[in-house]
């Protein structure tokens, strides 16, 4: 009986390990490149971040966080009656193999409510929170350079 219990336990552990590795290997491949944050003086409490994202599958970017920045909002720039306006986006769709850019004059990240300056050369950790088509959540962290 003990031998059968050991075999069953080994089988269960093998299956659990296999399922964990399958989930890890199946995770979406998201690339965040050319990430940078605009420098800010000590008395400033707002900045902006730009970068490009590329994914091997459709994803939804739901949130961006940072230990140094209290509030990060995703914004889209739209033209309304001939006037350019910023609108907060609660989520941004990242399409399979289609480059999405946070760039000047377009979609961007507004960084607000931080203490101290953001000095050129400094690294700011940004964590991107995504959902995939199965509604599973995952994160991707990067270091953005202050320019």
- Contact status, residue 145 vs residue 121, Cβ threshold 8 Å: yes
6 versus 118: the higher-pLDDT residue is 118
- Cβ contact 42:34 at 8 Å: no
Sorted by where each begins, the domain ranges of the chain are 29-146
Q: Is the pLDDT of residue 8 over 80?
A: no
pLDDT at 79: 86
Model confidence at 110: pLDDT above 90? yes
CATH class of 29-146: mainly beta
The band of 143, judged by pLDDT with boundaries at 50, 70 and 90, is very high
Strand partners, 102: 51
């Amino acid at each position: 009986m003990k031998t059968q219990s050991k075999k069953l336990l080994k089988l269960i552990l093998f299956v659990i390990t296999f399922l964990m590795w399958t989930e890890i290997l199946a995770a979406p491949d998201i690339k965040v490149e050319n990430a940078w944050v605009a420098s800010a003086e000590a008395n400033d409490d707002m900045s902006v971040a730009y970068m490009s994202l590329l994914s091997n599958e459709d994803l939804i970017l739901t949130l961006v966080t940072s230990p140094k920045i209290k509030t990060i909002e995703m914004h889209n720039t739209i033209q309304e009656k001939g006037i350019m306006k910023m609108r907060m986006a609660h989520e941004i769709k990242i399409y399979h193999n289609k480059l999405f850019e946070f760039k000047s004059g377009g979609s961007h990240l507004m960084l607000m409510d931080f203490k101290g300056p953001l000095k050129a050369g400094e690294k700011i950790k940004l964590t991107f929170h995504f959902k995939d088509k199965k509604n599973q959540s995952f994160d991707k962290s990067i270091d953005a350079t202050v320019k």
